[in-house]
Every structure is written in structure tokens, then in C-alpha cells.
């Protein structure tokens, strides 16, 4: 292990699968809440936790949401990707708790379990679907290739890039001219050029080796990308030339070797993701810069009940949601902005 546990701090309590972390300039943190009807958890600057649950669902909306990715919108609403057992989609959770459908159909069929969604400044939403194979664990394979990126624009959702080796989180560059995506089981970080109607010029930025299963990513002010890996709890810094620097790793070597062997033998399954053998981190899945200087690095996870953080060697880029108005949501909590 190369982790320095004494340099880790923690925020939040009672979180349920805080897979994705959204940080805000006010010091509030937001993560998915995968319990009950589903929703988000909000961790205040003081560290207390409040759950904002979806209220009575109606129409073409599941009985409950299983939030995977979340995206904060101006005004305090959230886009939530539904990682259901058989179906997915993107839904909007408003500050009053009401839920509405953004999109849950593609090519005339229900959208598969949906991983992540990123809105842009033009009103479009970039959506990732990891796999079309069911059960999803059957695609925890080096041969994974059924994932795709969809674009929701003007009320229509269509696939703009396919053949993705288990599509996970994606990120737009500051000028929205580049989209990066992690292909978890193809073990690569891939980039596309963004066009008016889709994506082009697919290219590999970094190819990862044994023990790395890339999931979440974000960007630093110097243009390097920070990528996290499930299982090995690695935090990697990727330079524009593809150079990879390991900042953190937290895993039992024997456990990682066993998972790696199962992966190579095409036998990786849910138990490999439902257990973790590590010192501190619990299947790190997401990374977000925050804090007053944007040097505090928050880590989302699949199995923990709090948010770990550490000080990064460089500041992060402030993402668009950093300065969004969240006062309507805070009013729901009885907190003045």
C-alpha cells in the first residue's frame, strides 16, 4: 500500500453508496443516496448530513430511484442517472422533492441501466450507459464493448459513440471541445472531439495495466486529469502525454491479485465488487476537487458510508456547478444561503 492514512480526512455520516461527489463553493457536498425511494445526501460545511429523498413518483418513473451519477443544476435541482436492475434513464430531482423524467427511452426502447450524465452550457446532456449485457456483471470482461455515450438534445436522445469498453464517468473540458471517458474494463481513458451534433476523433489518452479499473475522473488547473480506480483504490494523475503517476493505492495485494486473476479468466463477478480488502478506502469510484483553494480532493465510493479526502499537489479546475445557486435546496433544509 502506498496510502498515508494519517493524511486522510472524512466528511459525512450515514451515507449509502456515495458513488459520486459534487462539491460547491459554499462548502456543501452532495452525493447519491441509494436507500428508500432514492435521492441525494447533502453534507454541510460543519459535517452534518441531510437526506433529500425523491417524493411520490408518478407516470413513467420507477417506484424508487437507484442513483448512480448525479449532476447539480443551477437552482438546486439534480440530474440523477437511474442504475436500475433492468432499466435506466435520467431524472430530475427538484428542491421540493418532486421527480420528473428527462429521458428514459432510446431508439424506441427503454434505456438500459444508466451510469452518468453531464450537462453542458448549450442545454445538452451527455449520458453514459456502461453495458447492454444483462446481468451487468457478465460484462466485467477484458472484451467489454457494448457501452455507449448518448446525447440528449432538444428532447431527443441518441447514441453518438458506441463500442465502449464499459462506459463509466465522462468529463467535458472547460471549452467543451473535448469529452473524456473512462472505459472501466477496457482499461483506458479515451477522448473525443465534441461537435455540434456528437463526437468525433476518438483516441486513447492512457492505457492502464493490471489492477486498474478506471471509474471517475476530474481535471486539475494544469491540464492533468485525476482518475480513480475501483478495487485497487488508486488515485492516478494522467498527464497530457499519457504519463501516469500513482498518488494513492489502498488494497491488500493478495486480494488485488485474486481479482485480477478472475478478470483475466473472464470470471469476475459481483462478489469482487461487493467486498473490499483495504486499510481505509472502500472502492473509490469518483473524485472531485473542493475546499477554499480547490486543493481538497474528495473521493466517492461504492461501499463506504462517508467521504474521504486528501490534499492534492495541485488545485482542481472549478467545474460549472461550483457557483450554481443552491439556495432553493438549502431552504428545503431550513438553512439560509
> In terms of C-beta density within 10 A (0-12 exposed, 13-18 middle, 19 or more buried), how is residue 46 classed?
exposed
Say if 275 falls within a structural domain.
yes
Please give the residue range of the domain that contains residue 168: 5-332
Give the helix/strand (H/E) hosting 91: strand 90-93
Q: Which CATH number does the domain housing residue 261 bear?
A: 2.120.10.30
> What pLDDT is attached to residue 60?
72
Say if 208 falls within a structural domain.
yes
Say if 28 falls within a structural domain.
yes
Say if 161 falls within a structural domain.
yes
**Which residue in 220, 218, 231, 212 sits closest to 284, CA to CA?**
231
How many C-beta atoms surround the C-beta of residue 176 within 10 A? 14
Q: What's the predicted TM-score (pTM) here?
A: 0.97
> What pLDDT is attached to residue 95?
96
Stretches in the chain below the pLDDT threshold 50: 1, 4
Say if 11 falls within a structural domain.
yes
> What pLDDT is attached to residue 7?
85
8 Å CB contact between 142 and 263: yes
Place of cell 451515507: 15
8-state DSSP, 315: P
> What pLDDT is attached to residue 59?
64
Measured CA to CA, the distance from residue 118 to residue 199 in angstroms comes to 14
> What pLDDT is attached to residue 337?
63
> What pLDDT is attached to residue 5?
57
Number of domains in the chain: 1
Say if 197 falls within a structural domain.
yes
Say if 337 falls within a structural domain.
no
> What pLDDT is attached to residue 331?
95
> What pLDDT is attached to residue 32?
98
pLDDT in tens, 280-293: 999 999 999 999 99
Measured CA to CA, the distance from residue 337 to residue 331 in angstroms comes to 8
Amino acid at each position: 500500500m502506498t496510502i498515508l492514512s494519517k493524511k486522510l480526512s472524512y466528511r459525512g455520516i450515514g451515507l449509502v453508496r456515495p458513488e459520486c461527489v459534487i462539491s460547491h463553493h459554499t462548502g456543501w457536498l452532495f452525493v447519491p443516496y441509494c436507500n428508500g425511494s432514492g435521492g441525494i445526501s447533502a453534507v454541510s460545511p460543519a459535517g452534518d448530513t441531510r437526506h433529500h429523498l425523491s417524493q411520490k413518483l408518478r407516470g413513467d418513473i420507477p417506484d424508487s430511484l437507484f442513483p448512480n451519477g448525479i449532476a447539480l443544476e443551477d437552482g438546486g435541482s439534480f440530474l440523477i442517472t437511474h442504475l436500475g436492475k433492468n432499466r435506466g434513464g435520467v431524472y430530475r430531482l427538484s428542491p421540493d422533492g418532486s421527480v420528473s423524467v428527462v429521458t428514459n427511452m432510446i431508439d424506441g426502447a427503454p434505456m438500459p441501466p444508466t451510469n452518468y450524465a453531464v450537462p453542458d452550457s448549450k442545454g445538452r446532456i451527455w449520458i453514459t450507459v456502461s453495458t447492454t449485457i444483462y446481468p451487468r456483471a457478465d460484462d466485467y470482461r477484458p472484451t467489454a464493448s457494448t457501452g455507449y455515450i448518448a446525447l440528449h438534445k432538444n428532447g431527443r436522445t441518441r447514441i453518438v459513440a458506441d463500442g465502449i469498453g464499459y462506459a463509466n464517468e465522462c468529463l467535458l473540458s472547460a471549452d467543451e471541445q473535448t469529452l473524456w471517458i473512462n472505459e472501466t474494463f477496457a482499461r483506458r481513458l479515451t477522448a473525443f472531439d465534441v461537435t455540434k451534433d456528437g463526437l468525433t476523433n476518438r483516441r486513447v489518452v492512457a492505457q492502464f495495466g493490471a489492477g486498474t479499473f478506471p471509474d471517475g475522473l476530474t481535471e486539475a488547473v494544469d491540464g492533468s486529469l485525476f482518475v480513480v480506480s475501483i478495487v485497487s483504490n488508486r488515485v492516478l494523475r494522467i498527464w497530457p502525454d499519457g504519463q501516469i503517476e500513482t498518488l494513492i493505492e489502498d488494497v491488500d495485494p493478495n486480494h488485488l491479485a485474486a481479482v485480477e486473476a478472475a478478470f483475466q479468466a473472464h470470471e469476475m463477478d459481483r462478489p469482487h465488487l461487493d467486498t473490499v480488502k483495504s486499510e481505509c478506502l472502500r472502492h473509490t469510484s469518483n473524485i472531485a476537487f473542493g475546499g477554499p483553494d480547490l486543493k481538497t480532493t474528495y473521493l466517492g465510493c461504492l461501499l463506504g458510508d462517508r467521504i474521504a479526502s486528501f490534499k492534492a499537489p495541485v488545485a482542481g479546475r472549478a467545474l460549472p456547478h461550483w457557483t450554481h445557486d443552491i439556495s432553493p435546496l438549502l431552504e428545503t433544509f431550513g438553512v439560509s444561503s
